[in-house]
């Protein structure tokens, strides 16, 4: 059983000015709760989330790190972060090489009606193979992706808080996609060396035959009876990027029905490991607009690896340059695919939302 007592002790970063009232929801009853049992029947009728009221104008407390470090028996403290709307539950797992929350519990925690609400749960584990830390993530459906671009920026800011780091600094992270190196900048943004994109079709992986050397570039793919033009890129996790379909050489991404078409791409037979799918509109040679259907999470406000894969695809298709601003539903990311080292660099924000406690 798991209960949650969530104490909000940091400001929400949404521009909307409002006050959070105390709320009751889910998970098995916590003795720390003081609110009456809800009268309506929930999926987990004996559970609840307790959130203290706060204003979004409240300053960040410098003592917030001590909340995460508290060592009460039976409690697991967490932080909620978001990277331009792609949100995660961050757990300090540095004392163990195995995640302290199971994939099944992660699904419960990510539920936006009966849980904390998130696109995934991220664990800060001890480093391996000479790295400073290891990052693992469970998606909201319980699956485990190789990497997450917005998640790794949140990971970096969380580690900075745990280690009380200030100023400009970087560290190495072992992920399922290999070595990732984030750098926290003076302005609070995080620049991440995402490594080299993988273009070989069998390593993306995709069963679409390569048509440009070893890569799949602007190939035809029939999805739901429509011919789409797709480019396939892996940033350690698979991506299918499309800028056009039959009869329309430039997508208007706001007109794409993600909920309808996204799952059909994700589960298409040509993607043996499923795929993330980016629908992209070219605004200029250095400005792209992207909507994403994420493997294991569905429609999200942002996808960092997807933004990186999109710029790579735009260069391969001759649609944009190597330095682009990518507008996502949650905000912009700045992506550069450097010619000199073939690495992709992603720069963007990561912001804390609140802190809470899990009763295990």
The reply to whether 317 and 252 lie within a common domain is yes
The reply to whether 169 and 81 lie within a common domain is yes
For residue 262, the surrounding DSSP H or E stretch is helix 258-266
pLDDT digits (tens, 9 = 90+) for 25-51: 222 333 323 333 333 333 333 333 433
165 is a domain residue: yes
CA angle at 234 for the pair 232 and 239, rounded to the nearest 5°: 55
315 lies in which domain range? Answer: 201-342
27 is a domain residue: no
How many Cα neighbours within 13 Å face the side chain of 92?
Answer: 23
The reply to whether 211 and 139 lie within a common domain is no
What is the Cα–Cα distance from 346 to 158, expressed in whole angstroms? 18
The reply to whether 245 and 329 lie within a common domain is yes
Which candidate in 148, 240, 308, 324 is catalytic? 148
The reply to whether 309 and 208 lie within a common domain is yes
The reply to whether 205 and 338 lie within a common domain is yes
pLDDT score recorded for residue 153: 98
pLDDT score recorded for residue 64: 58
7 is a domain residue: no
The reply to whether 207 and 330 lie within a common domain is yes
Question: Which of 279, 303, 317, 334 is closest to 199 using CA atoms?
Answer: 317
The reply to whether 306 and 219 lie within a common domain is yes
24 is a domain residue: no
pLDDT digits (tens, 9 = 90+) for 91-135: 999 999 999 999 999 999 999 999 999 999 999 999 999 999 999
The reply to whether 231 and 335 lie within a common domain is yes
The reply to whether 162 and 98 lie within a common domain is yes
The model carries a pTM of: 0.81
pLDDT digits (tens, 9 = 90+) for 261-284: 999 999 999 999 999 999 999 999
1 is a domain residue: no
Provide the phi-psi class of 278: left if phi over 0, else alpha when psi is between -120 and 50, else beta. Answer: beta
Which candidate in 110, 232, 303, 308 is catalytic? 303
167, 351, 306, 298 alpha-carbon torsion, rounded to 10° = 160
In terms of pLDDT, which residue wins out, 73 or 169?
169
52, 6, 300, 191 alpha-carbon torsion, rounded to 10° = 100
In the chain, how many domains are there?
Answer: 2
Query: What 3-state DSSP class applies to 183?
Result: strand
The reply to whether 126 and 223 lie within a common domain is no
The reply to whether 207 and 332 lie within a common domain is yes
22 is a domain residue: no
241 is a domain residue: yes
Q: Is 148 tagged catalytic?
A: yes
In terms of pLDDT, which residue wins out, 266 or 12?
266
CATH number at residue 263: 3.10.310.10
350 band by pLDDT with thresholds 50, 70 and 90: very high
31 is a domain residue: no
């Amino acid at each position: 059983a798991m209960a949650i007592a969530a104490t909000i002790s940091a400001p929400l970063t949404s521009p909307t000015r409002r006050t959070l009232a105390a709320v009751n929801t889910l998970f098995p009853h916590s003795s720390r709760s003081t609110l009456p049992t809800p009268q309506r029947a929930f999926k987990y009728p004996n559970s609840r989330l307790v959130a203290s009221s706060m204003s979004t104008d409240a300053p960040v407390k410098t003592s917030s790190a001590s909340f995460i470090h508290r060592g009460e028996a039976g409690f697991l403290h967490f932080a909620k972060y978001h990277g331009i709307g792609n949100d995660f539950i961050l757990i300090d797992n540095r004392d163990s090489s195995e995640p302290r929350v199971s994939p099944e519990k992660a699904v419960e925690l990510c539920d936006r009606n009966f849980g904390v609400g998130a696109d995934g749960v991220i664990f800060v584990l001890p480093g391996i193979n000479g790295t400073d830390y290891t990052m693992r993530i469970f998606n909201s459906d319980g699956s485990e992706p190789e990497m997450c671009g917005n998640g790794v920026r949140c990971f970096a800011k969380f580690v900075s808080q745990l280690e009380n780091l200030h100023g400009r600094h970087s560290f190495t992270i072992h992920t399922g996609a290999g070595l990732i190196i984030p750098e926290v900048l003076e302005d609070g943004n995080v620049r991440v060396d995402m490594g080299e994109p993988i273009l070989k079709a069998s390593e993306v992986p995709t069963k679409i035959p390569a048509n440009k050397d070893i890569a799949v570039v602007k190939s035809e793919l029939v999805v739901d009876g429509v011919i789409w033009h797709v480019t396939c890129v892996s940033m350690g996790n698979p991506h299918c990027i499309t800028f056009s379909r039959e009869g329309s050489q430039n997508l208007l991404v706001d007109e794409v029905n993600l909920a309808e078409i996204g799952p059909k791409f994700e589960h298409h037979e040509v993607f043996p490991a499923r795929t993330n799918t980016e629908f992209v509109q070219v605004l200029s040679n250095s400005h792209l607009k992207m909507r994403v259907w994420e493997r294991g999470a569905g429609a999200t406000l942002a996808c960092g690896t997807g933004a990186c894969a999109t710029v790579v695809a735009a260069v391969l298709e001759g649609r944009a340059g190597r330095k682009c601003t990518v507008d996502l539903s949650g905000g912009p990311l700045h992506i550069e695919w450097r010619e000199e080292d073939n690495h992709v660099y992603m720069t963007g924000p990561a912001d804390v939302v609140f802190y809470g406690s899990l009763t295990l």
